[in-house]
Amino acid sequence: MTFRPLEKHRIKSIGWLRAAVLGANDGIVSTASLVVGVASAHVSHGNILLTGVAGLVSGAMSMASGEYVSVSSQADTEQAALAEETVELKADTQGEHQELTAIYMHRGLDYPLAKQVADKLMAHDALGAHARDELGISELSIAHPLQAALASACSFSVGAALPLAVTAFVPETWLIGSVVSVALVSLAILGGLAASAGAAKIFPSVLRVTLWSALALAVTSIVGTLFGAV
């Protein structure tokens, strides 16, 4: 019998895609907002640029450490659950078999077929079957802390570099308008690429990220103006 080859689904990339999109989006929004807020306070161009560089470095480190701690906690929880399941499989194999059978019956299989499926899967990889069907842990969802941390830091730096480059090369007179324009266009493109990579609808993603980012830029500009006036 000829078997159809396994399909490749885009959801397999959701782990790194989430971290990369979040990092780049945060890099653009936070750095652009920081630059716009400080520029609205009418400080010198050199101080604005220094603030942007400091925001890039601190933001990248914050993203990396935060993502690493968060995903490490998830990984620890997964490992603890797998260790507990391993003990349960050794202590009560029959009970775990019945539990797996009940799961398949709950999903729509009749008892003979559910029992047969549980027999086959537990004979092949008992822990893997329980991890996937009882605990919801699979290769697609398993946590990778270092990968997530590096993706977040790198993507944040790339995103933050865009408004920072505008700050470095655009005259102070045109600085705020240029930073806002580049940030919003970049964010719209990023939202569209993220939606396309995940096979989702592009327009809602672009609209969502653009509106919320514009709000963030407006708020920081108002705050900067108020402090500059003081």
| pLDDT under 50: residue ranges of the chain | 1-7, 9-11, 13, 229-230
pTM metric for this prediction = 0.69
Total domains in the fold of the chain: 1
Number of Cβ within 10 Å of residue 195's Cβ equals 19
Residue with tokens 């890039």: 56
DSSP characters over 19-62 = HHHHHHHHHHHHHHHHHHHHHHTT--HHHHHHHHHHHHHHHHHH
The whole-angstrom separation of Cα 37 and Cα 33 is 6
Q: Does 125 map to a domain?
A: no
Q: Does 81 map to a domain?
A: yes
pLDDT tens for residues 120-141?
A: 888 888 888 888 887 777 665 5
> By C-alpha distance, which of 94, 97, 139 is closest to 122?
97
Q: Does 156 map to a domain?
A: yes
Amino acid at 157: S
CA 131 to chain centre: 23
Q: By residue range, what is the domain housing residue 194?
A: 13-88+148-229
pLDDT tens for residues 157-197?
A: 999 999 999 999 998 889 989 999 999 998 888 878 777 76
